[in-house]
Amino acid sequence: MPLLDVQNLTAYYTIKRGSVKAVENVSFSLEEGEAMGLAGESGCGKTTVALSLLGILPVNGKIVRGKILLKDTDITKLSEKELREKIRWNAVSLIFQGAMNAMNPMYSVEDQIVEAIKTHDSSITKKKAKERIAKLFEMVGLEPERARNYPHEYSGGMRQRAMIAMALACNPSILIADEPGTALDVIVQAQVLKLMTELRKRLNLAMIMISHDLSIISETCDKLAIMYAGKLVELGDVLTMFKKPVHPYTQGLIAAFPGIYTPKQEMKALPGSPPNLLNPPKGCRFNPRCPYVMDICKKKTPELKEVSKGHYVACYLAKK
Ligand code: SF4
Looking at residues 38-56, what average pLDDT do you find? 94
Question: Which pLDDT score is estimated for 142?
Answer: 94
Query: Among the atoms of ligand 1, which is closest to the Cα of residue 249?
Result: 6
Residue 100 has pLDDT above 70, yes or no: no
Residues 246, 319: Cα–Cα separation, whole Å: 9
% residues pLDDT > 90 (the chain): 73
Query: Among the atoms of ligand 1, which is closest to the Cα of residue 294?
Result: 2
The gap between the terminal CA atoms of the chain, to the nearest Å, is: 26
Question: Which pLDDT score is estimated for 285?
Answer: 97
φ, ψ dihedrals at 88, nearest 5°? -60, 130
SS3 content of the chain, % helix, strand, coil (to 5): 35, 25, 40
Question: Which pLDDT score is estimated for 188?
Answer: 85
Residues 88, 90: Cα–Cα separation, whole Å: 5
Instruction: Give the pairing of strands 206-210 and 35-39.
Output: parallel
Residue 320 has pLDDT above 80, yes or no: no
Q: Which residue has the higher pLDDT, 156 or 45?
A: 45
φ, ψ dihedrals at 218, nearest 5°? -65, -30
Question: Which pLDDT score is estimated for 195?
Answer: 92
Q: 10 Å Cβ neighbour count for 246?
A: 21
Looking at residues 192-212, what average pLDDT do you find? 93
Query: Among the atoms of ligand 1, which is closest to the Cα of residue 233?
Result: 6
- Between helix 186-203 and helix 156-167 the angle, nearest 10°, is 20
The residues facing 208 across adjacent strands are: 36, 176
Distance between Cα 32 and ligand 1 center (Å) = 33
Q: Which residue has the higher pLDDT, 254 or 229?
A: 229
Q: What is the mean pLDDT of the chain?
A: 92
The residues facing 142 across adjacent strands are: none
Give Cα 23 to chain centroid, integer Å: 13
Q: Which residue has the higher pLDDT, 95 or 6?
A: 6
- Between helix 109-120 and helix 126-139 the angle, nearest 10°, is 120
203 and 170 Cβ atoms separated by less than 8 Å: no
Kindly give, in sequence order, each residue whose CB lies less than 8 Å from that of residue 129, ignoring residues fewer than 6 positions away. 113, 114, 117, 118
Distance between Cα 31 and ligand 1 center (Å) = 30
Distance between Cα 192 and ligand 1 center (Å) = 37
Question: Which pLDDT score is estimated for 296?
Answer: 97
Q: What is the pLDDT of residues 24-35, one digit of tens each?
A: 999 999 999 999
Q: What is the pLDDT of residues 255-305, one digit of tens each?
A: 887 766 667 777 777 888 999 999 999 999 999 999 999 999 999 999 999
Distance between Cα 40 and ligand 1 center (Å) = 16
Question: Which pLDDT score is estimated for 75?
Answer: 96
Residues 243, 304: Cα–Cα separation, whole Å: 20
* Ligand 1 binding site (Cβ under 6 Å of any ligand atom): 247-248, 284, 286-287, 290, 292-294, 297, 302, 315-317
Distance between Cα 248 and ligand 1 center (Å) = 7
Which residue among 227, 232, 250, 286 is best mutated to probe the pocket of ligand 1, counting the most ligand atoms within 8 A of its Cβ?
A: 286
Looking at residues 52-75, what average pLDDT do you find? 95
Residue 74 has pLDDT above 90, yes or no: yes
Q: ∠ CA 273-274-277 to the nearest 5 degrees?
A: 145
Residue identifier of the C-alpha nearest atom 3 of ligand 1: 315
Question: Which pLDDT score is estimated for 123?
Answer: 86
Give Cα 304 to chain centroid, integer Å: 20
Distance between Cα 287 and ligand 1 center (Å) = 6
% residues pLDDT > 70 (the chain): 98
Residue identifier of the C-alpha nearest atom 5 of ligand 1: 315
Residue 184 has pLDDT above 70, yes or no: yes
Least confident residue range of 48-52, 94-98, 234-238, 287-291: 94-98
The amino acid that residue 204 corresponds to is N
